[in-house]
Structure 1
Amino acid sequence: MVPEFVGYFLIPFCHLVKMKGFLLCLALVGFVHGQSRLGTYNLDATISVSGLSSGSYMASQYHIAQSKKIIGAALFAGGPYYCAQGSMMTATQACMSMPTSINVNTLISKTQSYVTSGLIDALSNLANDKVYIFSGTRDTTVVPGVVKKQEEYYRNYVNAGNIMTVYDVAAVHGMPTDFYGGACGTTNLEYINNCDYNGAFESLNHIYGGLQRPSAGAALTGQLILFDQSEFFKLAAPSTYGMDTAGYIYVPSSCQSGARCRLHIVFHGCLQAREKLGDKYARNTGYNQVADLNNLIILYPQAKSNMSNPNGCWDWWGYSSIYYANKNGYQMTGVERMMLRTQGQY
């Protein structure tokens, strides 16, 4: 196998060649990395996001910044948009365990300043969106009080009837499922909890409505594909921005056959990326079973640890850029390009 780092030199070269050569070059990059090129599908415009912990913060950032395109968000164990305010200390203290230190009015003011500067979409887009918020009663990592600050933040923009909160499951920090993970009330290193509660279905059903419920741990009919993330980062290797060279996408057989499908983007939490868990998060959190029955494609972008981010968290405090929470953030633009590719627009 050709060394992976060679791909970083091939990607800029690909942009210098003509179209046929460009496609062949990208194919070679995929060979170098052992990954496929992210595909294009028959998608409608109803795109949604979800995330756990740092992924919840990232999902909220992406929802707020891209509200023209995102119609709903499912947020597990995370606090409000721009909570960290560019500070790792604030992120690890106030935004995890000190809710009384979080001033939502300050965060709203910052949000408005981003709108004024054209760095996020108009907040009026959020009014009719669907938002799902989850916090386990035994979560001591991101305490329920912090999560309730996220609800307080969203109530400034989203119609109250469109916000669903779940605060009564006796879960520790993690993604709740009905078929996989550690005991619901006991911390495990995968941060996936078997709570007899299908968080993926409940949240997606709130966003879209009328979905078919899968049986617990139902066999999958689609394909989980490892794709090359490197082409979506232009200035440096993905690891520079805390991103992996590869991500996952789950495509049901119906969507592979050309059916009209919808896109949902899932952001894992810290210590849950490919470098730590392989494809366990992408396979075992319940999203794919929901996707199979409801013509949903699930995109799992992958963050990665670096010196500024040793636990492979998404950037919700500014380790990659001061623009981390708006459209100019490196992770934000990378994920946007992935989203556009699936729609055939990139």
Structure 2
Amino acid sequence: MMNAITRCVTKAAAGIALALSATTVVNASTQPVPPLNLDTDTITVSGLSSGGYMANQFHMAYSDWVKGAGIIAAGPYYCGQNDITTALSQCVNKMDSPVNLDTLSAKAKDWAQRGKIAPLENLKDSKVWLLHGTADTRVMSDVSDLLHTQYTMLVPETQVTYVNDKPFAHVFPTLDNGGSCTTSESPFIGACEYDAAGEMLNFMYDSLTAPDDTLSGNVYSFRQAELAGDNAKTLGELGFVYVPKNCEAGSDGSDGANASAGENTNGNACQVHVSFHGCNQYADAVDDAYVTGTGLNRWADDNSMVVIYPQTKKSMFMPLNPQGCWDWWGYTSEDYATRDGQQIQAVKSMIEGLSGKGIE
């Protein structure tokens, strides 16, 4: 029986994985994360593939807190339905039978009524940016179309944009960083002459400043379990955070970094964006390809924004996760897509810990 389960989950993970090659460790500062001056009243999230599913789950769980989501190549909330077979047969590169959005919506409504996710009416205040490339064969367009349909049932149509006419493969599109844009190859960061990071952030935030060619800040590492405890047991040892210089507590921003996006009721406090990598895109597998290569840091640096990059890890034991995917089908528990989910709780604790204060 165990061998059958192992074969099933391994096959499923391979079907949803980003098959990236292993390299070394992220080139992060050797210094501890400095005290940060953050505004955590609202945050935004993004992700690619399994990270896109996770960004959606985090958004739905905390739509009273998360006010923007940028999702590349993922499907509707609770598509996997706590079943790896369903996830593989309906939610990635094929749809053996139609996905019933009414069933998924009913589950979301039930969880909202029970307090397991935020009330769905909070979503009317969100902005959602979605992308699916026409050359993407890893996640079929029908799957991403369903995510768009689901969001437009919950979010005003003017607050949702769906980019689905670009000839991109299963990659995070950038202006000029990464490999081929039209083939799904390592590192699955594509030089597409298209700034997905800028497009999504400009949709979610008002009046961003165009970035320059220099970065004022640093990538820092932190021990995820120190902030998240047992909820981090399916995650990697280290997470990463990009910190612009003027987001360090006590900085006056005199280095010239623009603070327009972070200026709010908390003075010069910086905004928080959380970005989730895809399967096999965790740092132990791909070095800094995701942490430094998407273009998010470039925009964050000139707009007073800290970017948190939580990390998964692979596991060859139960819970089996050989490709280091985020849990969007239930390998941690049946609560994986709710506020009770281990990984969702872990990431929430990371944000709280890095900000130095709790979230009410």
Are residue 159 (structure 1) and residue 152 (structure 2) matched? no
Look up the match of 2:18. none
Equivalences for 1:284-303 in 2 at 5 Å? 284-303=293-312
- The question of whether the paired residues in 1 share the 8 Å contact of 2:246 and 2:304 is answered with yes
Look up the match of 1:8. none
Q: Distance in 1 between matches of 2:236 and 2:299?
A: 26
Look up the match of 1:253. 245
Which is further off, 135-144 or 257-266? 257-266
Q: 2:339 aligns with which of 318, 327, 332?
A: 327
SS in 1 for 2:230: coil
SS in 2 for 1:141: coil
Look up the match of 2:224. 229
Query: Which structure would you say has the larger RCO, counting Cα contacts within 8 Å and 6 or more residues apart?
Result: 2
Q: Distance in 2 between matches of 1:291 and 1:207?
A: 13
- The question of whether the paired residues in 2 share the 8 Å contact of 1:37 and 1:228 is answered with no
In the TM superposition, residue 38 of structure 1 has moved relative to its aligned partner by 7.8
In the TM superposition, residue 71 of structure 1 has moved relative to its aligned partner by 0.5
Deviations 1:140-190 (A, max 9, x none): 000111101000111111000000110111110010100211111022121
- The question of whether the paired residues in 2 share the 8 Å contact of 1:42 and 1:255 is answered with yes
**Aligned-residue CA RMSD in angstroms?**
1.6
Q: 1:304 aligns with which of 313, 334, 342?
A: 313
Look up the match of 2:91. 95
Are residue 315 (structure 1) and residue 307 (structure 2) matched? no
Are residue 278 (structure 1) and residue 287 (structure 2) matched? yes
Q: 1:118 aligns with which of 115, 118, 121?
A: 115
Q: 2:101 aligns with which of 95, 100, 104?
A: 104
Tell me the amino acid that sits aligned with residue 230 of structure 1: A
Q: Distance in 2 between matches of 1:313 and 1:104?
A: 24
Q: 1:262 aligns with which of 241, 266, 271?
A: 271
Q: Distance in 2 between matches of 1:329 and 1:35?
A: 31
Tell me the amino acid that sits aligned with residue 53 of structure 1: S
Q: Distance in 2 between matches of 1:123 and 1:178?
A: 35
Q: 1:220 aligns with which of 202, 215, 218?
A: 215
Alignment length (residue pairs): 308
SS in 1 for 2:92: helix
Look up the match of 1:72. 68
Q: 1:193 aligns with which of 186, 190, 195?
A: 190
Are residue 85 (structure 1) and residue 94 (structure 2) matched? no
In the TM superposition, residue 37 of structure 1 has moved relative to its aligned partner by 5.7
Which is further off, 102-111 or 255-264? 255-264
SS in 2 for 1:93: helix
The 3 A distance-change label for structure 1 pair 35 and 273 is farther
In structure 2, the gaps of 5 or more residues are 1-29, 253-267
Equivalences for 1:233-244 in 2 at 5 Å? 233-235=228-230, 238=232, 240-241=233-234, 243-244=235-236
- The question of whether the paired residues in 2 share the 8 Å contact of 1:138 and 1:170 is answered with yes
Which is further off, 34-43 or 294-303? 34-43
- The question of whether the paired residues in 2 share the 8 Å contact of 1:38 and 1:341 is answered with no
SS in 2 for 1:55: helix
- The question of whether the paired residues in 1 share the 8 Å contact of 2:227 and 2:353 is answered with no
TM-score w.r.t. the length of structure 2 is 0.82
SS in 2 for 1:41: coil
Which is helix-richer, 1 or 2? 1
- The question of whether the paired residues in 2 share the 8 Å contact of 1:190 and 1:271 is answered with no
Look up the match of 1:14. none
Q: 2:127 aligns with which of 130, 133, 147?
A: 130
Deviations 1:14-44 (A, max 9, x none): xxxxxxxxxxxxxxxxxxxx88368542325
- The question of whether the paired residues in 1 share the 8 Å contact of 2:62 and 2:117 is answered with yes
Look up the match of 2:262. none
In the TM superposition, residue 91 of structure 1 has moved relative to its aligned partner by 1.4
Deviations 1:50-92 (A, max 9, x none): 0000000000000000111100100000001100000111212
In the TM superposition, residue 210 of structure 1 has moved relative to its aligned partner by 1.8
The 3 A distance-change label for structure 1 pair 167 and 49 is same
Q: Distance in 1 between matches of 2:198 and 2:112?
A: 32
